[in-house]
Each structure stands twice: as structure tokens, then as C-alpha cells.
Amino acid sequence: MKTNGQPLSPFDPARARLDFPILSRKINGKPLVYLDNAATTQKPMSVIMSMTAYYERTNANVHRGVHTLSQEATSLMEESRARVGRFIGADDPATVIFTRNATEAINLVAFAWGRRHLKPGDEILLTELEHHSNVIPWQMVARDTGAALRYIPITGRDGFLDMDSLPKLLTGRTKILSVTHASNALGTINPVDELIRRARAVGALVVVDGAQSVPHMPVDVKKLGCDFLAFSAHKMLGPTGLGVLWGRRSLLESMDPFMGGGDMIKEVWTDHATWNDLPYKFEAGTPNITGAIAFGAAIDYLERIGMDRVRAHEMELTGYALQRLKDRFPGIILYGPSDPAKRGGVVSFDLPGIHAHDVGTILDREGVAIRAGHHCCQVLMRKLDIPGTARASFYLYNTREEVEALVRAMEEAERLFGVGIR
């Protein structure tokens, strides 16, 4: 992969691993091989230290106090907001709303935008790849407003969207398209540029679920041209309990608050109130101050490596893993695109004869952490007619040696179950 015509300088995951204390842990007497990064990533020392330093030196509530600590906490949190904005190409920090997670960010759009704007006859367009966080809020809003749900189908195990179905599905009735940028279950990277362009052409808004893309590749809301982008800090080296909704200012301004409480109001009378400015209108109550500040440290870490290099490393590792698994386990069923350039660092598979949960349990005995099950994508699993898959998912600190450890642990699973090629 090249940026601006220049080859990328090599990135050394072995060096990066030293920044993550947890990676030196042993699990069941074996070195931890953490391959569950699509669920959540590990945290570097700089993020851990940022949280400790905040509690040791600054802890105070934000936006309320006149005292020094409160002012310091407020400026640290607001600096972090601006940093998050720059990371996704958003110039205006007021359009960066801190939520609890990607799930809450999508719920915010579904409820605050959907309840006001959707009506019977309107359509909400999703895809069969969506995580429940991008299905259930829309089901709830569809039920409340009378709007209908439609799904862009996938073409098969590769998880590509059937773009030929778009003329029938994306019409003047479509008011909003909400689509994942990268599938957490199959790894497929969706053609969001084209989807956004075609949604624009029929006047539909576009929500991009960036939970599995923002942590792994450069994502720029200006270049994408989407209307909303949702993601979670904990999937990109940051703390749990913090997510982000970025939205176009005009849309956010036209929306009512999602929740009521402190900080989201300007003035309150007994029977009504006026709303605060962005982003506070959508941040009722004391926010996750520590999380927001530590997320700034996580972004710092990622920017020092560079998202192009994170992507290049994961693509290389995913290609290596796919090849090794195919070579070593001829009967394996691999899901998602075979071309690593068309997928993220998620490898979903089925070892015939061994239930995915058993694969996960045996791998854990070998110190290898993967996820097994439906990955919160039951619509997709129904379409594929499978109960679930085993899923290994990579991040910047994973190595080829860890892919080898995965292969060895899978050989052990085959040996125990008496299946496979031997």
C-alpha cells in the first residue's frame, strides 16, 4: 500500500506490543494470543496512564464549575473532542457528540431524527450484514412511525452486497440508509462511497456504522459525504463506555434531544425548556469525562502509527491468515471476501464437524482468544442458514506468529474431535 505515491515505512507490531501490558499475560499457562479485536481491543499504557493521571490530578465535573479543576477537566475533554473530530475529518468539534458507544450513537439518530421525520409510506434501508445495533433501533422506530424496513441482500458467503438490487430498493420512498462500513461478522468492506452517492441521488440520508472501520482504516467524513457516522472508542484502543456520533450540523440542529437532563438545556421553566447548543444538546447528564480524555490518548497513539499503516498491516496479516487456514485445513469454510483488499481484519470460519463454541473453548485452553456465535448478526446468520461462526479478528499488535498459534490451536481442536485431514 502507498500513500501520496510514497511506499509506507514498515510498521513493527512486535515493538507496539510492548506498549500493551495485557499482551504479556498467560492464559491457561500459554501466552495470550488475543484475536477478539472486533469485540474490543486492548489498551496501550498511554491510555491507561491518561485515565489514572486524570483521576490523580484533575478529577472534577465539566461545564459546571468555576473552579480550576473543573476548568481543567472541561478543557481536556474539549481538546479530546476536537482531536476526535480531526481524526475523522470533521472541522467543527460541535458536530462530535460523545455517547456511550456506537449503539447509543445509532439509537440517537434513529430516535431523534427518525421519530420526527419518518411516517407511513417511508422506507428505512439497511443491509443483511448489519449488527443488531443497526437493526433493532430502526425496527423500534419503524414500529412507532409506520415506516417500512428494507434490506439490501448479500450475494452469498463472500458477504458482498447485491448492488443489482439497489434500483428496486433505493427509491424516492427511501428516507434513510443505515449501513455498516465493514462487517463485524464476515469482514466485508462495503462500497459506502457508491452507496452514499446513490442514496443522495434519491434524496435519502446516510448513516455509516463505522464501528469496524474507523479503528482500522482512514475514514474521513468529508470525503465520504455521509450524514452521520457512529463508532466506539473501545474498539480502537480507547476505554469502554465512550462512543461517538458525528453528524452534519444542519441535521443535528434540526433534531430534538434524545435524552433530557442536566447540561442539555439552556433555560427551564415548570412546563418547558430550551435546548443547549451542539454538542451539549445531545449529552444529557455527566458525560464519561475520563473516557473522553483517554480516547484522546488512544487517537494520539493511532495517529503516531498512521491509519494507512494500521490498514496495511491488517491487510497483510489477514491475507496470510486466509492462506494458512486454507492450506492447513482443506475442509474449512471461510466467510467473507477472499481478497484481503476487500475485507477488514476479521476471519470468520467454520471447521466442519466441530461446533464454533467448541472451537472457541479449545482455543481458549491454548491461550487463543476468539469469538464464537452469531456475532450479534442474526439476520445475516439466518440468510447464511448457519447458527454462527468462529471468528478471529486482528489489530495492529497481532503478528504472523500469532496466526501460527491459531493454526496450532485449531489442529489441537481437530485432534480432540477426531476430524480433519490426519
**Are the C-beta atoms of residues 262 and 286 closer than 8 Å to each other?**
yes
- Within 227-256, which residues bind ligand C6P (CB under 6 A)? 232, 243
The catalytic residue among 376, 384, 390, 413 is 376
Among 192, 287, 371, 403, which residue sits at the site for ligand C6P (rule: CB under 6 A)?
Answer: 371
- Within 84-103, which residues bind ligand C6P (CB under 6 A)? 101-103
Name 126's bridge partners.
Answer: 151
Residue 211, interface with ligand C6P (CB under 6 A)? Answer: yes
Q: How far is Cα 319 from Cα 338, in angstroms, rounded to an integer?
A: 8
**Lookup result for grid cell 495492529:** 396
**In the complex, minimum distance from the CB of residue 366 to ligand C6P, in angstroms, rounded to a whole number:** 20
**In the complex, minimum distance from the CB of residue 39 to ligand C6P, in angstroms, rounded to a whole number:** 3
**In the complex, minimum distance from the CB of residue 108 to ligand C6P, in angstroms, rounded to a whole number:** 12
Q: What is the DSSP secondary structure assignment for residue 366, as one 8-state letter?
A: T
- Within 46-85, which residues bind ligand C6P (CB under 6 A)? none
Residue 112, interface with ligand C6P (CB under 6 A)? Answer: no
The phi, psi pair for 143, rounded to 5°, reads -60, -40
- The DSSP H or E segment spanning 249 is helix 249-254
Contacts with ligand C6P: how many residues (CB under 6 A)?
Answer: 18
Q: How far is Cα 188 from Cα 159, in angstroms, rounded to an integer?
A: 6
Sign of the C-alpha dihedral computed for residues 170, 185, 210 and 302 taken in this order: negative
Q: How far is Cα 32 from Cα 175, in angstroms, rounded to an integer?
A: 46
Point out which span in 73-81, 127-135, 258-266, 333-341 binds ligand C6P (CB under 6 A).
Answer: 127-135
ω before 279 within 30° of 0 (cis)?
A: yes
Instruction: Render 303-359 in DSSP notation, one character per residue.
Output: HHH-HHHHHHHHHHHHHHHHHHHHHH-TT-EE-S-SSGGGB-SEEEEE-TTS-HHHH
- Set of cell numbers at residue 220: 474521513
H-state helical runs in 25-64: 45-53
Residue 343, interface with ligand C6P (CB under 6 A)? Answer: no
**Are the C-beta atoms of residues 292 and 77 closer than 8 Å to each other?**
yes
Q: Which is nearer to ligand C6P, 252 or 376 (CB)?
A: 376
Q: Which residue is nearest to ligand C6P (CB)?
A: 184
**In the complex, minimum distance from the CB of residue 370 to ligand C6P, in angstroms, rounded to a whole number:** 10
Name 179's bridge partners.
Answer: 208
Among 19, 27, 31, 39, which residue sits at the site for ligand C6P (rule: CB under 6 A)?
Answer: 39
**In the complex, minimum distance from the CB of residue 99 to ligand C6P, in angstroms, rounded to a whole number:** 9
**In the complex, minimum distance from the CB of residue 72 to ligand C6P, in angstroms, rounded to a whole number:** 28
Q: How far is Cα 222 from Cα 347, in angstroms, rounded to an integer?
A: 30
The verdict on whether 376 is a catalytic residue reads yes
- Set of cell numbers at residue 277: 447548543
Burial class for 269, CB neighbours closer than 10 Å (0-12, 13-18, 19+): exposed
Residue 190, interface with ligand C6P (CB under 6 A)? Answer: no
Among 123, 128, 209, 414, which residue sits at the site for ligand C6P (rule: CB under 6 A)?
Answer: 209
Site string for ligand C6P, 285-324 (x = CB under 6 A): ----------------------------------------
Among 95, 145, 174, 212, which residue sits at the site for ligand C6P (rule: CB under 6 A)?
Answer: 212
Among 42, 174, 178, 180, which residue sits at the site for ligand C6P (rule: CB under 6 A)?
Answer: 180
Q: Which residues are catalytic?
A: 376
Which residues contribute to the site for ligand C6P (CB under 6 A)? 38-39, 101-103, 131, 133-134, 180, 184, 209, 211-212, 232, 243, 371, 375-376
